[in-house]
Amino acid sequence: MCEELMGSWKLVDFSSDDFCKYMEAVGVSFLVRKAASHLKPDVAISKNGNEWHIKTTSTFKNTDLCFELEKEFEETTADGRKVMTIVTLENGVLIQKQTWDGQESTITREVKDGRMITTCIFKDVKCVRTYDRK
């Protein structure tokens, strides 16, 4: 069921206002928010055995999130924050839970109608980003 998430995706639909609000809520600096809010990154999701990769490529920063499901690890976010992260897969939805300083944010990725929907949530702030296959 996770197979449909695999492959290369490009961001096609998003609200930079909502993304900015999300970034501000989780503590991304003003300068990085300005640089990142209008970017259209590519995301490549792959899996080799139990090892997953989510590679994000943009003119701002390239990142490679490498993890095994249900094993907590320290993530350095694209803007340089350190968070503890655990990724689970529930009914085809990849759920990336980040925790730091008693705070929690969740980034979910799922395929609906052939598009990958990424939803970033922190408290009552939510932003939805839609990716198409490259």
Whose Cβ is closer to ligand DKA: residue 20's or residue 49's?
20
- As measured in angstroms, the least distance from the Cβ of 101 to ligand DKA is 16
Give the other-Cβ count within 10 Å of 111's Cβ.
21
Nearest in space to 78 (alpha carbons), one of 9, 125, 26: 26
Phi-psi region for residue 32, left (φ > 0), alpha (ψ -120 to 50) or beta?
Answer: alpha
Q: Which of 79, 83, 87, 116 binds ligand DKA (CB under 6 A)?
A: 79
Q: Report the SS3 class of residue 16.
A: helix
Find the binding residues for ligand DKA in span 31-60 (CB under 6 A): 32, 36, 43, 56
93 near ligand DKA, rule: CB under 6 A: no
Q: Which two tokens stand for residue 25?
A: 């809520």
Residues forming contacts to ligand DKA in the complex (CB under 6 A) are: 23, 28, 32, 36, 43, 56, 77-79, 107, 118, 120, 129
